[in-house]
């Protein structure tokens, strides 16, 4: 028996309804806030991710699925969406008419990490990106959107954590201070961090290895190095969130695992998922569009871990399954053939009808109708068929109604979808 690849998964009926519900809820919310959907490929040239995410990140160093295609070009299954959305923004000159654009996209991402609860090798993200706005208002808007989505999905036990990572003007001083600090900690750091220490000391702040976390407890904080402009930006984000009634925690340790972030970064964290506490993460990446060859446009975005969100929504997938509107229990060859034709005609008009494809007793057909929780059952016995009528039963109230066969589809529709 051939099995799934490790870290990949099937999303089966019974669970998929939850995914569909979340997807619809998110898409509706995004559209209410003026976002358009954008769909990007699941593969890109490796260079795109290497350049945008950063060579020293976990993702680029060890998590990407990269392979040469037949002509030797290096391709990568996308580990995240932002790089591709930025590429599309630049490539199709989506800034030309109006640089202010809001996009969302939903789909699979691929990272070769150690699989565990809430961590897969193919996982899904819901992404949002806003281009062309430098104002801290959109930083607050995105955090507000995340919190509102959680509300609509009845997710509790989440908290917004925010921080500022500064800008190219204030970061060098901080990097310098951090390097000095790290030089005194070399014996305590994991081999990755020891190597990254000089090249990209910020990465050490994001390391998940417990010993590194311990060593970093009294590390200098970027927060204390913010320039006046970055500090003012962050103050406005906070004041706006206050005005919107969004609760948040300033988390000076919050850095994110991608190189391109500037200024505001944020995460939605939950206590409900053990070690995988980040449900969503995002931030500003003002330099990335230009770094990838586009115009100098600021940008900000977030990614929600769809798989993790599914784990914590306060909804029961069973409540989201749509049972059949109608089950037709037909006896005898002629009735069964009519039932099949009606099922097709009703389906075309949006009524979900089911039949029993076999030639089984009324009792076993009724059992199946019960099992499917059909709202109505139509009984077409041989005798009834001969008299040109059938019986429609409301399964909740047990009310019965006689329906003439010659206008069955209309009559059923009128009763079921008044
Ligand atoms: P983590 O710290 O959990 O590794 P990350 O910082 O690598 O997360 P991002 O790159 O910011 O994650 O991606 C945004 C979100 O995508 C995360 O907050 C998380 O919910 C989700 N995510 C990331 N990696 C995985 C994975 N391997 N499996 C499932 N969800 C994931
Ligand atoms: Mg990660």
pLDDT at 385: 87
pLDDT, tens digit, for every residue of 191-208? 888 888 888 888 888 888
Residues 83-135: tens digit of each pLDDT = 999 999 999 999 999 999 999 999 999 999 999 989 999 999 999 999 999 99
Query: Does ligand 1 have an atom closer than 6 angstroms to the CB of 281?
Result: yes
∠371-377-378 over CA atoms, to 5°? 140
Query: What's the pLDDT band for 142 if we cut at 50, 70, 90?
Result: very high
Atom number of ligand 1 nearest to Cα 121:
27
Residue 203 Cα to ligand 2 midpoint, Å, equals 12
For residues 294 and 214, the model is more confident at: 294
* Residue 216 CB burial class (10 angstroms; 0-12, 13-18, ≥19): buried
Residue nearest ligand 1's atom 16 by CA: 305
Least confident of 106-120, 212-226, 343-357, 358-372: 212-226
Comparing 358 with 267, which gets the higher pLDDT? 267
Q: Average pLDDT, stretch 38-48?
A: 98
Q: Exposure string (b/e) for 115-151, b if CB count within 10 Å is 16 or more?
A: eeebbbbbbbbbbbbbbbbeebebbbbbbbbbbebbe
Q: How confident is the model at residue 253 (pLDDT cuts 50, 70, 90)?
A: confident
> Which tops the pLDDT comparison, 171 or 302?
302
Ligand closest in space to the Cα of 257: 1
Q: How far is CA 251 from CA 145, 203, 255, 266, in A?
A: 20, 16, 9, 9
Percent over 70 (pLDDT), the chain: 100
Least confidently predicted of 44-48, 57-61, 161-165, 299-303: 57-61
Residue 262 pLDDT:
93
CB of 79 shorter than 6 A to ligand 1: no
Per mean pLDDT, which range of 39-43, 245-249, 319-323 is the poorest? 319-323
Which of 305, 307, 309 has most ligand 1 atoms within 8 Å of its beta carbon, as the pocket-test mutant? 305
Cβ of residue 257 lying under 6 Å from some atom of ligand 1 = yes
CA of 59 to the centre of ligand 1 (A): 10
Give the confidence band of 33 by pLDDT, cuts at 50, 70, 90. very high
Domains and CATH numbers, the chain: 16-170+226-317 (3.30.930.10), 322-416 (3.40.50.800)
Please name the residue whose Cα sits nearest to atom 26 of ligand 1: 119
- Looking at the CA of 275, which ligand is closest? 1
What is the whole-number distance in angstroms between the Cα of residue 227 and the centre of ligand 1?
A: 29
Q: Is the CB of 206 under 6 A from ligand 1?
A: no
Ligand 2 centroid vs 185 CA: distance in angstroms?
24
Q: Quote the ligand 2 centre to 110 CA distance (angstroms).
A: 11
Nearest CA to ligand 1 atom 18: 280
Looking from the CA of residue 118, the nearest atom of ligand 1 is 29
Q: Ligand 1, atom 28: nearest CA belongs to which residue?
A: 119
Q: Whose CA is nearest to atom 21 of ligand 1?
A: 305
Average pLDDT estimate for 30-46:
98
Evaluate whether 21 touches 315 at the Cβ level (below 8 Å): yes
pLDDT for 418 equals: 59
The answer to whether residue 73 scores a pLDDT higher than 70 is yes
What pLDDT was estimated at residue 292?
Answer: 96
Q: Given ligand 1 and candidates 149, 281, 306, 310, which is best to mutate, with the most ligand atoms within 8 Å of its CB? A: 281
Q: 279 CB less than 6 Å from ligand 1?
A: yes
Question: Alpha-carbon distance 224 to 141, whole Å?
Answer: 25
**End-to-end distance of the chain based on CA atoms, in angstroms?**
49
Backbone angles phi, psi at 129, to 5 degrees: -140, 140
| 369 contacts 395 by C-beta, under 8 angstroms | yes
Nearest CA to ligand 1 atom 6: 257
Q: Give the number of the ligand closest to the Cα of residue 276.
A: 1
* pTM, entire model: 0.92
Residue 67, pLDDT above cutoff 90? yes
* pLDDT exceeds 80 at position 258: no
Token pair 């959109």 in the structure block, residue: 138
As a whole number of angstroms, the distance between CA 288 and CA 125 comes to 20
Q: Which atom of ligand 1 is nearest to the CA of 59?
A: 7
pLDDT at 36 over 80: yes
Residue 278 Cα to ligand 1 midpoint, Å, equals 7
Between the CA of 178 and the centroid of ligand 2 the distance, in Å, is: 22
In the reported structure, the alpha carbon of residue 327 is separated from the centroid of ligand 1 by a whole-number distance in angstroms of 44
């Amino acid at each position: 028996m051939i099995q799934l690849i490790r870290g990949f998964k099937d999303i089966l009926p019974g669970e998929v309804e939850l995914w569909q519900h979340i997807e619809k809820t998110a898409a509706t919310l995004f559209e209410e806030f003026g976002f358009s959907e954008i769909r990007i490929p699941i593969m890109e040239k490796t260079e795109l991710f290497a350049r945008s995410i950063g060579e020293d990140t976990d993702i680029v160093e060890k998590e990407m699925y990269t392979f040469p295609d037949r002509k030797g070009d290096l391709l990568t299954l996308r580990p995240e969406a932002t790089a591709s959305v930025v590429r599309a923004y630049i490539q199709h000159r989506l800034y030309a008419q109006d640089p202010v654009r809001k996009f969302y996209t939903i789909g699979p991402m691929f990272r070769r990490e150690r699989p565990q609860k809430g961590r897969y090798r193919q996982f899904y993200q819901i992404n949002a990106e806003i281009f062309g706005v430098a104002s801290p208002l959109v930083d607050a808007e995105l955090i507000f959107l995340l919190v509102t989505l959680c509300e609509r999905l009845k997710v509790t036990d989440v908290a917004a954590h925010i921080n500022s990572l500064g800008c190219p003007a204030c970061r060098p001083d901080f990097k310098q201070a951090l390097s000095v600090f790290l030089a005194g900690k070399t014996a305590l750091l994991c081999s990755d961090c020891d190597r990254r220490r000089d090249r990209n000391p910020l990465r050490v702040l994001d390391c998940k290895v417990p010993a590194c976390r311990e060593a970093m407890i009294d590390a200098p904080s970027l927060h204390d190095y913010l320039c006046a402009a970055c500090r003012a930006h962050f103050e406005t984000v906070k004041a706006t969130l206050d005005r919107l009634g969004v609760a948040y925690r300033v988390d000076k340790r919050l850095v994110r695992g991608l190189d391109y972030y500037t200024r505001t970064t944020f995460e939605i964290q939950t206590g409900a998922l053990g070690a995988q506490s980040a449900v969503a993460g995002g931030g500003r990446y003002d330099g990335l569009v230009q770094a990838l060859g586009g115009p100098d446009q600021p940008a900000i975005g977030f990614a929600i871990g769809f798989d993790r969100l599914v784990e914590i929504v306060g909804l029961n997938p069973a409540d989201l399954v749509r049972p059949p509107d109608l089950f037709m229990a037909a006896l005898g060859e002629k009735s069964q053939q009519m039932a099949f034709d009606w099922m097709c005609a009703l389906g075309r008009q949006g009524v979900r009808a089911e039949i029993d494809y076999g030639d089984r007793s009324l009792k076993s057909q009724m059992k199946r109708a019960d099992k499917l929780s059909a709202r109505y059952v139509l009984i077409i016995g041989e005798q009834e068929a001969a008299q040109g009528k059938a019986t429609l039963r409301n399964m909740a109230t047990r009310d019965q109604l006689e329906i003439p066969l010659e206008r069955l589809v209309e009559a059923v529709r009128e009763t079921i979808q008044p």
